[in-house]
Structures are given as C-alpha cells and as structure tokens.
Structure 1
Amino acid sequence: KLHVEKVSARGPLWKFKGHATVDDVRTSEAEFSAMIVDPQR
C-alpha cells in the first residue's frame, strides 16, 4: 500500500513525502517533487 502526502505546493512545483507498506510493515519511504509544465513552451 502506498501512503503519500503533499508537503508543499508553490506555483507549478509540488513536493510530496510517502512510504510503502506490505502486510502493515513499512518497506520503503521517499521524498519527491513534481512540476507541472506547459508542453507548448
């Protein structure tokens, strides 16, 4: 199961953190970001 929460959003840049569990045991965790871009630019 994946558990993700938004940490911040400033303009087109979003930051997240989350973790994965298997049988209720945490197996991994990460912090990541994503950016929304206009493909026409």
Structure 2
Amino acid sequence: MYNLFAFAIGARLVAFIVFVACVYGGNLLFAKLERRQSKFFGKLPL
C-alpha cells in the first residue's frame, strides 16, 4: 500500500515537472518565433 502511495506521489511529481518544462520551453519557443514571424502570429486569433 505504501509503495502505491509513493508511486502516486512520484507520478504526480514527474507529471508536474514535465508540465512546467513544456510550459517554460513553449514560452521560450513562442518568444523566438514571435521575434522572427511577428507578422504571421499577428494574423492568428490568439
């Protein structure tokens, strides 16, 4: 039972780290694309 509980905490921790990494990396990627293709992103309804 304890192993299952520890596994659940570990899985949530890994998922949280992946989520933060994706958001952080996505923001950096979007910033780079926004500098190069500001005209293209200006047409998208975001």
Q: TM-score, normalised by structure 1?
A: 0.16
Greater relative contact order, per chain length (Cα 8 Å cut-off, separation 6+): 1
Q: Which has the higher helix share?
A: 2
**TM-score, normalization by structure 2:** 0.15
Query: Between Structure 1 and Structure 2, which shows a larger proportion of strand residues?
Result: 1
